[in-house]
Amino acid sequence: MRAAVAKYWEGYTTDKRQPTQKEVAIELGELLGLSLMKNKEPARKAVNLAAAIKPVDLPDA
CA within 13 Å, CB half, 21? 15
**C-beta separation of 47 from 28 below 8 A:** no
Continuous H helices in the chain: 2-5, 21-32, 44-53
Give CA–CA dist 43/30, Å, rounded.
Answer: 10
Query: Tens digit of pLDDT for each residue in 8-56?
Result: 999 888 889 999 999 999 999 999 999 999 999 999 999 999 999 999 8
Q: What is the pLDDT of residue 26?
A: 97
Q: Is the pLDDT of residue 59 over 70?
A: no
What is the per-residue pLDDT for 23? 96
pTM value is 0.84
